[in-house]
Chain A
Amino acid sequence: MKNIKLTVNGEKFEEQIDNRLLLVDFLRDNLSLTGTHVGCTYEGVCGACTIHLDGDAVKSCMLLAVQADGHNITTVEGLSAEGSLSNLQQAFNDEHGLQCGYCTPGILMNMADFLTENPNPSDEQIRHGLIGNLCRCTGYVHIVRAVKKAAKMLKDGAREDRT
């Protein structure tokens, strides 16, 4: 057991946890932040559990929760400010970038980080960025369109909140 202190979506938490607890389970079971999904039984291949660790998109099933001690985490619940959708979320809604929605939280978290690094992405760059996220419904066409639209919205300053 180990005591950890970390910040999740701007809120500070302190918890006593088992060393072997995976970060994704800590977020879902201990903090009840169930927006972060488990799509592939913790094999690290689906990307549905993608979160931001100190701003970088990483898969939370590939980390022990104890490793996040002292770090800053953002989950999909932290993407939108005050109940309004972020530009990226709005673009996914507008372009119908999801069907069943299971992979969506991971895709949003990966693409939010991607767009800060690639403000003017080509289709090819978006598809390359999406390799770590499996979607079995959409065929990615609408997802790529949504990310492209989000990039434009961010550039045009459509909303002032975060990616």
Chain B
Amino acid sequence: MYPAEIKEYHKPDSVEQVLEIIANHEEGESLLLAGGQSAMQAIKSRMLRPQCIIDLQDLQELKTINDESETLKIGAMVRYCELAKSSALNINFTGLKDAAAHVGDRQVRNRGTIGGSVCWNYAAACTPAAVLALDGSMHLISSGGETKVICADDFFLGPLDTAKSESDVLVSVSFKKPKTRSGSAYKKWGLVKDALPVVGIGAFVKLDSNGSCYEARIALTGMGVGAQRATAGETLLLGSDGDQQSIEAATESICANIDAPTDLSATSDYRYQLIRSIGTEVILTAFKRASI
């Protein structure tokens, strides 16, 4: 595990400079480096052999969490350790906090970023699933300087694949604040604590004034296909107030509609059991948080 030759290293301090460096290179030559907690592994194993590394660590404009009136905007270079502590995520978006607080280990959380994780989109990563459950939107600036906004449903295309093109720079991930009560949660189960999930589930519910669910989003990871929605389960939560029967029906429906693979970590049946147990806990927690 040692990097191949890296001809150029740049540490720009503005998005404009990043775009300029990208434009000066052929496709496939340059690589954007955020926290590097996944990308450096790929560079050391030589799965990636970038000619030119563009280190984003000095982009101060990408390091803030903006709690605006209608949206919560998280800069792409905000680290897991900052997400895990941020009070701005407390009300509606606690699910993202749950995920960030248990990524890898302390050292990884001190360096890894939300932007790096969503752009890398590892098959069993927690952040893409949490962002998908919370209906996040990716804000990108492309080579011409124009801004693109891509919702999570369209952004995550499968393991290591996203709708971001090589010449785009992700600047932030935003979340629309619900106008009614809402709650979210995320939990995973891995072979050891905080390891990559064998199964990870995020849930987001919005309740009307009677406490009845009118919109639900559930996302899964760990099935070998990257972050995925579990729409069959979502539908069964509509009209529910978080009652056990509806939640049970939702998790059963997820199991019936999603393929759970057997691999070295777990059998298919074991994954279905995890979906039932973690799914129930996560959905219940989301309802409870919405009721506070």
In-complex Cβ contact of B105 among A41, A69, A131 (8 A): A131
Tell me whether B2 and A20 are in contact (CB under 8 A).
Answer: yes
Residues from chain A with a CB closer than 8 A to the CB of B110 are: 56-58, 113
Query: Are B40 and A63 touching (Cβ within 8 A)?
Result: yes
Assess the A41–B1 pair: CB atoms within 8 A.
yes
Contacts known (A58-B107, A132-B107); A67 close to B7, Cβ less than 8 A:
no
A110 B107 Cβ-Cβ under 8 A: yes
In the bound complex, what is the Cα–Cα distance between A42 and B104 (angstroms)? 16
Secondary structure class of chain B's binding surface, majority of residues: loop
Give a binary string over B1-35; 1 marks a CB under 8 Å from any A CB, 0 the rest: 11111111101000000000000000000000100
Contact with B along A39-69 (1 / 0, CB 8 A): 0011110010010010011110111101101
A85 within 8 A of B: no
B30-49 contacts to A (CB < 8 Å): 33, 36-37, 40-41, 44
Complex CA distance for A128 and B7, rounded to whole angstroms: 39
Quote the shortest CB–CB distance from B121 to chain A (angstroms): 19
Scoring A residues 93 to 136 as 1 if CB is less than 8 Å from chain B, else 0, what string do you get? 00000000000000000100110000000000000110111000
A6 at the interface (CB under 8 A from B): no
Is B57 an interface residue, CB under 8 A from the partner?
Answer: yes
A33 at the interface (CB under 8 A from B): no
Chain B residues, Cβ within 8 Å of A12:
none
CB of B29, distance to nearest CB on chain A (Å): 14
Cβ of B108 under 8 Å from chain A: yes
Q: How far is the CA of A43 from the CA of B41 in the complex (A)?
A: 7
| Interface size bracket, B side | 20 to 34
Chain B 179-201, CB-CB to A under 8 Å as 1, else 0, gives 00000000000001110000000
> B3, B41, B44, B55: which contacts A67 (Cβ < 8 A)?
B55
B170 contacts the other chain (Cβ, under 8 Å)?
no
B111 at interface, CB cutoff 8 A: yes
A57 to B: closest C-beta gap in Å? 5
Report yes or no: A20 in contact with B4, Cβ–Cβ below 8 A: yes
Q: Choose among A62, A64, A133 the residue that contacts B111 (Cβ–Cβ < 8 A).
A: A62
State A41–B111 Cα separation when bound (angstroms): 20
Closest to B37 in A: A62
A153 within 8 A of B: no
* Neighbouring A residues of B8 by C-beta, 8 Å: 19
A57 and B3 in contact (CB under 8 A), knowing A19-B53, A42-B44? no
Residues of A close to B55: CB separation below 8 A: 66-67
Closest to B193 in A: A131
The verdict on A131 contacting B7 (CB below 8 Å), with A56-B110, A56-B111, A58-B111 known, is no
Cα distance A53–B104 when bound, in Å? 18
Interface CB pairs A-B, < 8 A, 25:
A19-B5, A19-B7, A20-B3, A20-B4, A22-B2, A43-B44, A44-B41, A56-B110, A59-B111, A62-B37, A62-B41, A64-B9, A64-B53, A66-B9, A67-B55, A67-B57, A69-B11, A128-B193, A128-B194, A129-B106, A131-B105, A131-B193, A132-B105, A132-B106, A132-B107
Task: Name 9 extra pairs, CB < 8 A, besides A58-B111, A66-B9.
Answer: A20-B4, A20-B6, A57-B107, A59-B107, A61-B44, A62-B37, A67-B11, A67-B55, A131-B192
Please give the residue numbers on chain B whose beta carbons come within 8 Å of chain A beta carbons, in ascending order. Answer: 1-9, 11, 33, 36-37, 40-41, 44, 53, 55, 57, 81, 104-108, 110-111, 192-194
